[in-house]
Amino acid sequence: MTTPSTLPAKPFEAGLADVIACNSSICLVDGDNCRLLYRGYDIVDLAEHSTFEEVAYLLWYGRLPGFVEFQAFLDGFTGCMKLPVETVMILRMFPHAATPMEVLRTAVSSMGHWDPDSGNTRLDASLRKAQRLTERIPLIIASHQRLRDGKEPIEPRSNYGIAFNFLYTLQGREPDPIMVKAMDTALILHADHELNASTFAARVTAATMTDIYSAVTSAIAALKGPLHGGANAEVMRMLEEIGKPERAADWVLPRLAEKVKIPGFGHRVYRCEDPRATILRKEVNKITALTGETQLYETAQAVEELMLANSKVFANVDFYSAPLYHAMGIPVELFTPIFAVSRVVGWTAHILEQWKNNRLIRPTAHYTGPALTSYVNIGSRS
């Protein structure tokens, strides 16, 4: 009989770094050249010329739409944004202490019960579910926040996109078009990122041939952690604690010396600045020029200068999304949920791709436990 000690040690990479786990035609993260492509299109071009809805089409269908088909797509997508009444009832039941990310995870999971395509696993039904998830996640976040603040949820406006309606249903007033454009840009930039932790969680879950709501719930749970999507909230807490640029060195340098990870910096794939951070920095600059509140942005710049001078790690997408959302008047607990507003498009594109050519995802572990051991009855144990 083979005992564990005789098993050959297999080489393994902690955190599966550089392990290729699937083929994918959705997104290319070019970590050496600081470039991110969705279906071959550079995010720099998409952020400047496209919209979040068009990017959703691109990721789901693999190509940009023609004018007429895009209008038809929008009619069935953001043209009918609405939360099921059951979801609003559930949102009213959460304790005040439930965080928006926890609420989102539970609400998304529960929404599967009322999906009109529930149980239908055909591709057209899965695409409709992906659209419903995408149009409803922002409404869940905004409605829950309003309920938490003692206000009633408000209906989205038809013929407006997700960026507009997220801000409108959250803040209860028509948002400034410059804010809408900045939010739309942030949503474009967060839409997909190859096999990041939450997308991998979605693909592993989907590969068991469970339903799309279960796979997206897994993804939300993975996104929540501070090493992944939760980092944008940690960045905000750090910037608030630092308070002003002159205090950045006292905060950052001792932590760097102790090898503490600074939120919003470092990346598994990029060896240079995350191209999304480059664009988001410009957006923060624009919005703070509009609001006149520049202290937090200046503090962020001071932190970044210190990191560039004293470490080899660069800002990632979470570093400038935090001051951006703050400048829009959004509470910090919604920063990670906003990531999900966008990333649900990538998650669902990956789930559909997984199902096209599915095989159960089941790697192996290198066993490091005891060798075969005889069971001893409890009375005879020393």
Span from 96-104, 130-138, 314-322, 363-371 in contact with ligand ACO (CB under 6 A) = 314-322
Q: Helices marked H in 78-176 — which ranges?
A: 85-93, 100-111, 123-148, 162-171
Place of tokens 């609420």: 103
Reference 250, options 296, 320, 302, 311; nearest CA is 302
At its nearest, how many Å lie between ligand OAA and the CB of residue 370? Answer: 34
At its nearest, how many Å lie between ligand OAA and the CB of residue 262? Answer: 16
Q: Rule CB under 6 A: say whether 311 interacts with ligand ACO.
A: yes
At its nearest, how many Å lie between ligand OAA and the CB of residue 316? Answer: 6
Q: Which does 127 bind (CB under 5 to 8 A by kind): ligand ACO, ligand OAA, none?
A: none
Contacts of 377 by beta carbon, 8 Å cutoff, 6+ apart: none
Reference 288, options 239, 350, 344; nearest CA is 239
Contact indicator for 34, 274 with CB cutoff of 8 Å? yes
Q: Of 221-240, which residues contact ligand ACO (CB under 6 A)?
A: 227-229, 231
Q: Which of 190, 193, 267, 326 is catalytic?
A: 267
Please tell me the count of residues contacting ligand ACO according to CB under 6 A. 20
Q: How far apart are CA 333 and CA 330, in angstroms?
A: 9
At its nearest, how many Å lie between ligand ACO and the CB of residue 69? Answer: 31
Active site residue 267: yes
Residue nearest to ligand ACO (CB): 266
Q: Which of 211, 318, 326, 350 is catalytic?
A: 318
Residue nearest to ligand OAA (CB): 196
Active site residue 49: no
Span from 44-52, 76-84, 137-145, 312-320 in contact with ligand ACO (CB under 6 A) = 312-320
Contact indicator for 141, 104 with CB cutoff of 8 Å? yes
Assigned token pair, 251: 């905060």
At its nearest, how many Å lie between ligand ACO and the CB of residue 11? Answer: 18
Pairing between strand 41-42 and 35-38? antiparallel
Assigned token pair, 140: 């869940």
Assigned token pair, 96: 């005040």
State the residues that interact with ligand ACO by CB under 6 A: 15, 196, 227-229, 231, 259, 261-268, 311, 313, 316-318
Question: Which positions are catalytic?
Answer: 267, 318
